[in-house]
């Protein structure tokens, strides 16, 4: 299975693949960059947002927490957009087990990217959670979806896949300190 194969699938099939996904060894994410492709969005919405992006992961040496962030890319590529000579990072998250949040039930065997752990409650991304799994027989392709945690889990039509890219060159500072109670993997 390739990102192009996944782009051709309707959201119901992506949802089924996510539910059947396999666990991810968190060590495979550490200090790596992943090339992302948006899936499942209506074409009009894709034109207003993006179809390619980067997710970067870093194991914080002080706390041991695995955290990450998104990087805006030039349209249709994985070349980072720059601001003042640095990649345009946004959407910081903590990597947790799905049991750490009720909204992780969409992919019970995978990991959960929790944007609420590293963004203030008023931030628009603070309610986002991304369940993430490995797809069987895909050569390490990861599949995720975006859900809103609003007391109950609210699915969005947004799915994405990630392919391993290069090693992370330099970590971004989180927007706020890692919480002392961080339940990272």
47: CATH:
2.40.128
Average pLDDT, integer, range 70-75: 90
Q: HSE (CB half, 13 Å, CA atoms) of 42?
A: 3
Amino acid 104: pLDDT:
46
Whether 177 is covered by a domain: the verdict is no
Of 2-11, 38-47, 66-75, 93-102, minimum mean pLDDT range: 38-47
Q: Regarding predicted confidence, which is higher, 131 or 43? A: 131
Amino acid 30: pLDDT:
95
Tell me how long the chain is.
185
Whether 174 is covered by a domain: the verdict is no
Whether 28 is covered by a domain: the verdict is yes
Average pLDDT, integer, range 67-82: 89
Confidence of residue 100 (pLDDT cuts 50, 70, 90): low
Whether 10 is covered by a domain: the verdict is yes
pLDDT at 52 exceeding the cut of 90: no
Q: pLDDT tens for residues 109-126?
A: 789 999 988 888 898 888
Helical ranges in 31-182 per DSSP H: 43-48
0.85 exceeded by pTM: yes
Strands (E), the chain: 32-39, 52-59, 66-71, 82-83, 86-87, 89-96, 111-114, 128-134, 142-150, 152-167
Task: For residue 102, give Cα distances in angstroms to 13, 40, 105, 111, 152.
Answer: 22, 23, 6, 13, 8
pLDDT at 33 exceeding the cut of 50: yes
Residue 144: domain span: 3-167
What percentage of the chain carries pLDDT values higher than 70? 82
What percentage of the chain carries pLDDT values higher than 90? 40
Whether 181 is covered by a domain: the verdict is no
Instruction: Provide the number of structural domains found in the chain.
Output: 1
Query: Which are the contacts of 123, defined by CB distance < 8 A and separation ≥ 6?
Result: none
Q: Regarding predicted confidence, which is higher, 2 or 177? A: 2
pLDDT at 41 exceeding the cut of 70: no
């Amino acid at each position: 299975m390739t990102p192009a194969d996944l782009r051709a699938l309707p959201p119901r099939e992506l949802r089924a693949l996510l539910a059947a996904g396999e666990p991810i060894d968190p060590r495979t994410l550490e200090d790596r960059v992943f090339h992302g492709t948006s899936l499942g969005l209506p074409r009009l919405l894709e034109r207003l947002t993006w179809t390619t992006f980067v997710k970067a992961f870093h194991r914080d040496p002080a706390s041991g927490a695995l955290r990450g962030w998104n990087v805006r890319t030039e349209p249709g590529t994985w070349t980072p957009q720059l601001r003042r000579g640095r990649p345009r990072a946004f959407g910081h998250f903590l990597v947790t087990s799905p049991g750490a949040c009720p909204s992780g039930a969409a992919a019970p065997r995978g990991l959960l990217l929790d944007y609420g752990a590293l963004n203030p409650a008023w931030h628009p991304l603070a309610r986002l959670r991304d369940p993430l799994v490995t797809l069987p027989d895909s050569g390490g392709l990861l599949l995720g979806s975006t859900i809103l945690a609003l007391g109950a889990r609210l699915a969005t039509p947004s799915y994405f896949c990630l392919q391993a890219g290069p090693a992370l060159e330099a970590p971004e500072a989180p927007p706020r300190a890692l919480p002392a109670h961080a339940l990272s993997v």
